[in-house]
Amino acid sequence: MKPIRALLIAEAANPEWSSVPLIGWSLSTAIAREIDAHIVTQIRNRDAFVRAGLKEGVDFTAIDSEAIERPFWKLAGWLRGGQGIGWTTQTALASLSYPYFEYLVWKQFGARISKGEFGVVHRITPLTPTAPSSLAKRCAGAGVPFVLGPLNGGVPWPEGFDMERRREKEWLSYVRAAYRLLPGIRRTYRLATKVLVGSRFTQGDLPAAYRDKYIYMPENGIDPGRFWRKALRHDSGPLRAAFVGRLVPYKGPDMLLESALELLRSGSLIIDIVGDGPLMPELRSFVQKHNLGTMVTLHGWVANEQVQDILCQCDVLAFPSIREFGGGVVLEAMALGVVPIVVDYAGPGELVTSETGLKIPIGTREGIVTGFREALTRLTKDRSELAVLSRNSCDQVQKRFTWPAKARSICKIYEDLPDRTTP
């Protein structure tokens, strides 16, 4: 590989958080272990970077954009109307405040980029395709390749789930397409050298004129140092299933319990539900009403290492989410050899194949409940297929979805980029 130094822009990157910040941290640090790279992040992540052993000014730079970002963050919290809901509102306001962060990045690094100190500038986060980048234009002017992504978003709400959409307070999702009118959005994709896209939906949502630049690469990955254990297989006794995630309508924990009711009553299935959220009272009521206390455990939020402990005691991950962009928990289960059962839509539907898990067709709520009921019933009677699916899941994750594997793929993309050009 030709020597190259990368400037990695990861506004959201934190090893102590989850979701996008964890992706930003995991991918940027994995790339930095492969090549000479410097990470630029937001000031709120500074202490976590230092605690993880990185040296400020050497390994990373923390940019203080709080003057603009904090007021927008507070406004987003108020408009969302609660934790864990209204994500489109959160993303929209973050996209409005984010340009200030890039302005400060260029103010601090612009001269060094223009002088050719970095062979590529790669904006890793934000993951949303709705956030324009002024760096795309500035890097093009400096003749330095600019890489964007992996981007994910643009997954439509499936038909028949409008009530769940409203319960999630996703009011802005009805007019999400208006992001295409944002100043600089088309210019961002026109001037980017390469764009990593995290899902087929996202790829279809981006401007078709620049399709030759798009490279498909799901954004989630696995830390092999954390997910090294292997799940126990239960050849007899009740089938054990897990659900891991926020207890919100679109993730469908209530659909899972509804589909599994008779199996739980008969003692042929045990379910561990890990997570918390607005549906917790409803789930507790369901368990109490049907006397399922010995068959369903509502764990609430637990530490990450405890999630792995619980998953390793299970045969399957039963995850009926109907609108999942990435599906990180699906990869985590697969890495442990826990066979995923997912809805064939968006992120999970792209990550899981017939060789690694079971997919229930997207459809009505009743159709999904029926599909999960049939799949779980079949497995309680004959779980022989699980051994092969489990082994294939582990192999697939190791080949494609560990952070080191993804970092090597991205570094190969860097290697194939054009050399610095005259602006």
Answer yes or no: are the C-beta atoms of 176 and 201 closer than 8 Å. Answer: no
Q: Are the C-beta atoms of 45 and 101 separated by less than 8 Å?
A: no
Residue 325 near residue 200, CB atoms below 8 Å: no
For 253, other C-beta atoms within 10 Å of its C-beta total 29
What is the C-alpha separation between 186 and 73, in angstroms, rounded? 26
Among candidate residues 2, 3, 41, 5, the one with its CA nearest the CA of residue 120: 5
Across the chain, mean pLDDT equals 90
Q: In what order do the strands lie in the sheet with 194-197?
A: 60-63, 36-42, 5-10, 120-125, 146-151, 194-197, 214-216
Query: pTM for the complete prediction?
Result: 0.89
**Do 5-221+402-415 and 239-400 fold alike per CATH?**
yes
Tens of pLDDT, residue by residue over 331-343, are 999 999 999 999 9
Calpha distance 333→166 (Å, rounded): 30
pLDDT tens digits along 43-81? 999 999 999 999 999 999 999 999 988 765 665 555 555
For the chain, give every domain's residue range. 5-221+402-415, 239-400
Write the single-letter amino acid at 6.
A
Tokens at 138, concatenated:
């500035």
Q: Is the pLDDT of residue 263 over 90?
A: yes
Residue position matching structure tokens 């959005």: 185
The C-alpha atoms of residue 27 and residue 359 are separated, in whole angstroms, by 28
Matching residue, tokens 């985590």: 332
Q: Does domain 5-221+402-415 have CATH number 3.40.50.2000?
A: yes
Q: Exposure of 93 by Cβ count < 10 A (0-12 exposed, 13-18 middle, 19+ buried)? A: buried
Query: pLDDT tens across 343-382, in order?
Result: 999 999 999 999 999 999 999 999 999 999 999 999 999 9
Contact 287, 258 (CB under 8 A): no
CATH superfamily entry for domain 239-400? Glycogen Phosphorylase B; (3.40.50.2000)
pLDDT surpassing 50 at residue 89: no
Is 162 a residue whose pLDDT tops 80? no
**How confident is the model at residue 423, as a pLDDT?**
47
